[in-house]
């Protein structure tokens, strides 16, 4: 089996009396798509928050790329290769699509304490950024302000930004949200093609996409891991059927 | 550079700079020495506004304590002068260093907060320096401190009003040049990106705090420079130069000129002082004593700008790019 890149060990997060993350241990391996599913309020977003470093767990550990990152701030985890996309589209609206990706390239290129040279004329930033835009079929929209892009295009832009950092693992928080059927299908194909480049933790409500993509699925209910296994195992798991998938499966 | 002159924005900037460049000659020809000192103050305030625009306009951080740098730069010069150190080569670096240290310390604490909390904490720190300075009995306390202009032996004589003006003008041009370069540099793009979407910049892997702290410190040094000049202009420092109202005036100038626009602070300073200088006598002309209340007219003017011209004066020059 491929090496484990990202893992949590008995992660616990409480909000007052609510146990939002209850002893969760999961792992993401190189080259796999690990899907995290569960009903609303199951604690998926809370778990992602702890993985990215925006929330601190009460106990337990998070390991990434061979080291304990539990206490590492969010930006440092990104620099280690933990990329993410947002549930709600998040781009730099005043900047052009190309500027957005170029900033992602810049973040990956070391420190930015350079005060005088025009960053928009640096070929080492613009070149990779342009290629990144082309990879998500946004090449023709490079000079359009991000705010003027359609919702679907902004999602593609986010993907290009996340990939510009050459992540080892990508956290995808509902990437299909708000997408039409055709767009979702295209994204499914794109994510599949990414598998050689990085492992992925996919949080998604679109079950069709989940079962089409995932190598493994973990079901989260009330902050606990209800079941974890291959899509086939999850599809036939009686508990999961009852708790979540219901008749839909 | 030449390309920039093909746009209304470039033409306006060039014309304003040209006017400022020949201002002492104009005031001399018109026998209006008073207008030279008004011009000097506009240039100095524009430098301070450029420095505030760096963190407010590019960084999206509304600092309500920027006048503290007037005070720190000014008092450093004033106190050294009172202690017998007249040499500018000593005074100025110490004053700039003091501003940097203060900015770094205030930034390290206040940049952990956001929005209105940031505004309040920067105001609180500025008030701290304000009361500290009025407690400096040895240096005039509330009454302030008189001294003479910094000496740069063999180089320039700042006691000459036109020379002093031109020094301020050159420093303003340098500040504008630096800010213009900074805005499009790697550092500037990170600062502006964080101003528009901090979470996104963190998710790209930028340690946003560090960049903001650096920007806050650079801005503080530039603000301290304005303080040095302001103190030299009046050959006088007092706590009043760093009252919260001065910090408010600086914000008004930046907003008036156009938040985040390179030349906005200069336009803002020109209009702000022009209104102050001309509205007062104009109102007095209408009715003796009304001049005192010029802000009753100026206030609604600002509200109109806030409501209808969000980009300030700069936005009158057309759409801004990048």
Q: Model confidence over B299-322: pLDDT tens digits? A: 888 888 878 877 888 988 887 765
A114 vs B contacts (CB less than 8 Å)? 185-187
**Per-domain residue ranges of chain A:** 1-81+167-249, 92-164
Q: Residue B61 has what pLDDT? A: 95
Q: What is the pLDDT of residue A102?
A: 97
Residue that wins the pLDDT comparison between B266 and A179: B266
The answer to whether A90 contacts B185, with C-beta atoms less than 8 Å apart, is: no
Domain annotation covers residue B27: no
Domain that holds residue B98: 36-243
B6 is a domain residue: no
Pairing outcome for strands A199-203 and A33-37? parallel
Residue A246: per-residue pLDDT:
61
Helices B208-234, B186-196: inter-axial angle, 10-degree rounding: 100
Please state the ipTM of this predicted complex.
Answer: 0.90
Cβ–Cβ pairs < 8 A, chains A and B? 95
pLDDT score at B311: 86
Query: Does any domain span residue B238?
Result: yes
Tokens standing for B205? 């892997």
For residue B207, which residues of chain A lie inside 8 Å, CB to CB? 73, 75-76
Q: Which residue has the higher pLDDT, A246 or B152?
A: B152
**Average pLDDT of chain A to the nearest whole number:** 92
Q: Do B203 and A93 touch (CB under 8 A)?
A: no
What's the pLDDT score for residue B6? 80
Q: Is residue B40 part of a domain?
A: yes
In A, minimum Cα distance to B184 occurs at: A118
What is the rounded distance in angstroms from the CA atom of residue A12 to the CA atom of residue A238?
Answer: 26
b/e sequence B150-169, b meaning 16+ C-beta within 10 Å: bbbeeeeebeebeebbbbbb
pLDDT over 90 percentage in chain B: 82
User: Is residue B126's pLDDT more than 50?
Assistant: yes
User: Could you tell me which of B41, B242, B223 has the C-alpha nearest to residue B144?
Assistant: B242
φ/ψ of residue A12, rounded to 5: -130, 130
Would the pLDDT of B129 be above 60? Answer: yes
Pair of tokens at residue B285 = 């002309």
Determine contact, residues B169/B20, Cβ cutoff 8 Å: yes
Rounded to a whole number of angstroms, the distance from the CA of A234 to the nearest CA of chain B is 32
State the smallest CA–CA distance between residue B192 and chain A in angstroms: 9
Decide if B30 is inside a domain.
no
In this prediction, residue B1 carries a pLDDT of 54
**How far, CA to CA in Å, does A212 sit from each of A38, A43, A206, B153?**
17, 23, 10, 79
Cβ atoms of residues B172 and B50 within 8 Å: yes
Residue B86 burial class via C-beta count within 10 angstroms: exposed 0-12, middle 13-18, buried 19 and up: middle
* pTM, entire model: 0.92
Q: Which of A153-157, B156-160, B290-294 has the lowest mean pLDDT?
A: B290-294
Residue with tokens 């209808």: B308
Q: Taking residues B250-261, what's their average pLDDT?
A: 94
Cβ-contact B274, B253 below 8 angstroms? no
Tally of domains within chain B: 1
Homologous superfamily of the A1-81+167-249 domain (CATH): P-loop containing nucleotide triphosphate hydrolases (3.40.50.300)
């Amino acid at each position: 089996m491929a090496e484990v890149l990202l893992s949590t060990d008995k992660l616990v997060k409480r909000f007052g009396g609510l146990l939002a993350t209850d002893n969760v241990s999961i792992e993401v391996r190189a080259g796999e798509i690990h899907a995290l599913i569960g009903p609303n309020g199951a604690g998926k977003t809370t778990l992602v928050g702890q993985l990215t470093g925006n929330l601190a767990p009460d106990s337990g550990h998070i390991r990434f790329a061979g080291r304990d990152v539990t206490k590492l701030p969010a930006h440092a985890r990104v620099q280690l290769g933990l990329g993410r996309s947002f549930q709600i589209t998040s781009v730099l609206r005043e900047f052009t699509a190309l500027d957005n990706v170029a900033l992602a390239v810049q973040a990956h290129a070391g420190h930015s304490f350079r005060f005088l040279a025009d960053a928009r004329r640096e070929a080492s930033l613009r070149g990779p950024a342009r290629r990144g835009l082309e990879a998500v079929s946004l090449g023709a929209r490079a000079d359009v302000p991000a705010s003027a892009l359609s919702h679907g295009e902004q999602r593609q832009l986010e993907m290009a930004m996340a990939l510009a950092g050459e992540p080892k693992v990508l956290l995808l928080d509902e990437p299909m949200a708000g997408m039409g059927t055709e767009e979702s299908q295209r994204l499914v194909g794109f994510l599949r093609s990414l598998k050689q480049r990085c492992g992925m933790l996919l949080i998604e409500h679109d079950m069709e996409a989940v079962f089409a993509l995932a190598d493994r699925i973990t079901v989260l209910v009330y902050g606990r891991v209800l079941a974890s296994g291959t899509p086939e195992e999850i599809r036939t798991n009686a508990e999961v059927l009852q708790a979540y998938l219901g008749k839909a499966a | 550079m030449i390309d920039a002159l093909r746009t209304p924005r470039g033409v306006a900037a060039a014309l304003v700079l040209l006017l400022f460049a020949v201002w002492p000659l104009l005031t001399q020809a018109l026998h209006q020495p008073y207008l030279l000192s008004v011009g000097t103050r506009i240039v100095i305030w524009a430098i301070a506004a450029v420095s505030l625009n760096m963190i407010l306009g590019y960084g999206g951080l509304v600092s309500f304590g920027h006048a503290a740098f007037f005070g720190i730069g000014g008092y450093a010069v004033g106190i050294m002068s009172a202690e017998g150190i007249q040499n500018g080569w000593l005074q100025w670096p110490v004053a700039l260093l003091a501003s940097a240290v203060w900015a770094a310390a205030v930034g390290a604490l206040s940049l952990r907060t956001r929005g209105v909390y940031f505004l309040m904490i920067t105001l609180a720190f500025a008030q701290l320096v304000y009361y500290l300075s009025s407690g400096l009995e040895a240096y005039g306390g509330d009454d302030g401190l008189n001294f003479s202009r910094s000496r740069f032996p063999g180089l320039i004589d700042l006691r000459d009003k036109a020379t002093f003006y031109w020094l301020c003008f050159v420093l303003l041009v340098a500040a504008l040049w630096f800010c213009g370069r900074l805005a499009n540099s790697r550092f500037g793009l990170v600062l502006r990106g964080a101003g528009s979407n901090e979470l996104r910049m963190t998710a790209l892997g930028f340690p946003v705090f560090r960049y903001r702290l650096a920007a806050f410190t650079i801005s503080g040094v530039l603000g301290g420079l304005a303080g040095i000049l302001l103190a030299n202009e009046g050959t006088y420092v007092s706590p009043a130069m760093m009252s919260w109202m001065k910090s408010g005036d600086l914000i008004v100038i930046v907003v008036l000129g156009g938040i985040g626009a390179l030349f906005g602070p200069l336009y803002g300073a020109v209009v702000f002082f022009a209104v102050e200088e001309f509205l007062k006598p104009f109102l007095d002309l209408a009715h003796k004593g009304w001049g005192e209340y010029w802000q009753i007219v100026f206030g609604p003017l600002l509200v109109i700008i806030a409501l209808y011209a969000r980009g300030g004066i700069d936005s009158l020059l057309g759409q801004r790019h990048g």
